[in-house]
Structure 1
Amino acid sequence: MKLATYRASVEASARLGIIAGDQIIDCEALGAALGEDFPATMLDLIDLGPAGLAVVQQALDEVDGDWPIGIAVPLSNVRLLAPIPRPRKNIFGIGLNYVEHVAESAKTLDTSRELPDKPVVFTKPPTAVIGPGDAIQHNAAMTQQLDWEVELAVIIGSTACRVAADNAMAHVFGYSVMVDVSARDNRRAGQWIFSKGQDTYAPFGPVIVTADEIDDPHDLTLWLNVNGVEKQRSNTRHLLFDIPTLIADISTGMTLEPGDIIATGTPEGVGAGRDPQEWMWPGDVIECGVDGIGTLRNPVVAIGPVGQR
């Protein structure tokens, strides 16, 4: 199932939708048409667990494209938002999780040349999240080194506390795309959250694909273009720490809860690793995607210093 959060008009509230071809099906309205109480938001659906997802899937199978009047809208007529517009908690980011990225980072970012022996975890606050088409903010007074990182995002579907890697995948609700925007010149004494957690630094979307739709999350091509020029292309098979390992490691000390997001790390090709280095500037357009999930497109815009917009 491909799930999206959308707005049918500027004034409308955010709604949970199901992608069906070139249409989006309103989840709550589908339930109402069938005499059922279906969730209206992505987090509400995730909270229902596998049983809730199964009920929605059963309804889709029963209707089989013969949509009740008023619940299906052309995708071209709606605006897609971030699938979870405001996560409940910080996003878990993973640094240095592709071998080639470890090497390129060591050249220019003062990180170790040695492969990490445990996942390198940082966080991005919920306020960093933006959706498809939203602008990545560039404040020239704050950064001259705004960088891109395309990543596979994992959405947690059930509580995971000190889980074993062998059981970790049972806690995955689905997958999406995220850009880990990074102001390389905003690291503070080795701490990354200000570099990576500023407003708009987590483009997210365009959809969440449920785990059952992805045959192997460790064999997905991911890529990123800047102004139509390819900068990153790799495959999740090259993850240094795979998804079960990440879930097991994080959950040893921090309980993962439904709706939590793990951005699994980026491959080589970031701007900081290029010779000469390249950065994002106002007017640039970032396009990226992960096979089987979709494409995320975001412009870069200038904002003023503190006290100005």
Structure 2
Amino acid sequence: MNDTKHDDTNRAPLGLARVRFDGEVLWAVRSGDVYSPLGAALAELLRLPRDEARGLIEKARVDAATTGIRVDAVLAPVDPEHEVWAAGVTYLRSRDGRIEEATDGSPYDRVYVAKRPELFFKATGRRVVGPGEPVGVRADSGWDVPEPELGVVLDAAGDVFGFVPGNDVSSRSIEGENLLYLPQAKVYTASCALGPEIVPAWLAAPPFGIALTIEREGVTVFEGTTSTETMARTLPDLADWLFRGLDFPDGTVVLTGTGIVPGADFTLMPGDVVRIGIDGIGTLANPVIKVGR
């Protein structure tokens, strides 16, 4: 099995990580190769005004020389109480792919150009898997794909706080059979991965290049690239629509859609390794398992 736990490709100079240290789960700031305890959870940061949150992160970075810790594991960078939402059909390739799979593809065509975006619930923080942890394909699905996406961390005010690689694993066969099956195609055990860490928005800005590689028994069986520059919607627009009918006092994460969709002849298999790299943000790698019955 390929090592999926420690992939530094695309890593930013600084990141915000949720880690396990000496049996305890805590948030830390990684500066270079040194992790320093933050002293607050992500939910607390996202409740604060931007300058105050930035000050806490900067203090942990400065203190790293004396407070550095050796982490046992890097976990999914969300708190258990967080929600992850997702946007669909934000790239032309996504529209085409979903038309390809659907019994009736016209709704995807219409939503691509509509004022209101497609937004749907993806996972609770407790259900999100982190770097190196398995993502799942449903046992009752015969056509499954990863969806490499830029995850945008939004604070309690709905402003962009940071960025994180994400994987919105999906059953194309279930969704394609009937649009009303979307929740079953998208929301199930181990269907959402985030990580390895959050890069604050003041250190990175779109557009971002995104790359997907899928390995099977050590051999690359699919690879593709895209850029957030080709998105049909802006990040503030997606945030605005999400917050129009919901409040997130602890902040939230929204996956912004995929521009890389494998063809109809490809499906994920247990044992595959999925790698999602976003320029300047990081690389998320996960093995694949079968889930459910």
TM-score of the superposed pair, with normalisation by structure 1: 0.79
Candidates 214, 226, 251, aligned match of 2:214: 226
Candidates 98, 104, 117, aligned match of 1:105: 98
- 2 CA distance for matches of 1:13 and 1:62? 23
Deviations 1:79-116 (A, max 9, x none): 11011042433x22111100122123212234234433
Map of 1:94 onto structure 2: 87
Which structure has the larger Rg? 1
1:233 Cα shift?
Answer: 0.8
TM-score of the superposed pair, with normalisation by structure 2: 0.84
Contact 2:131 2:195 in 1 (8 A): yes
Contact 2:29 2:60 in 1 (8 A): no
Map of 2:136 onto structure 1: 137
1:257 Cα shift?
Answer: 3.8
SS at match of 1:198: coil
Map of 1:22 onto structure 2: 33
1:251 Cα shift?
Answer: 2.2
Q: CA RMSD in A?
A: 2.1
- 2 CA distance for matches of 1:277 and 1:129? 28
Map of 2:5 onto structure 1: none
Cα pair distance change 1:130/1:85, threshold 3 Å: farther
Contact 2:37 2:60 in 1 (8 A): no
What letter matches 1:44 in structure 2?
A: E
SS at match of 1:296: strand
Percentage of identical aligned residues:
25
Gaps in structure 2 of 5+ consecutive residues: 1-13
Q: How many residues are paired up?
A: 268
SS at match of 1:237: helix
Cα pair distance change 1:302/1:125, threshold 3 Å: closer
Map of 2:235 onto structure 1: 243
Map of 1:190 onto structure 2: 179
Cα pair distance change 1:23/1:129, threshold 3 Å: same
- 2 CA distance for matches of 1:176 and 1:144? 29
Map of 2:17 onto structure 1: 4
Cα pair distance change 1:106/1:223, threshold 3 Å: same
- 2 CA distance for matches of 1:288 and 1:100? 17
Asked if residue 73 in structure 1 is aligned to residue 72 in structure 2, the reply is: no
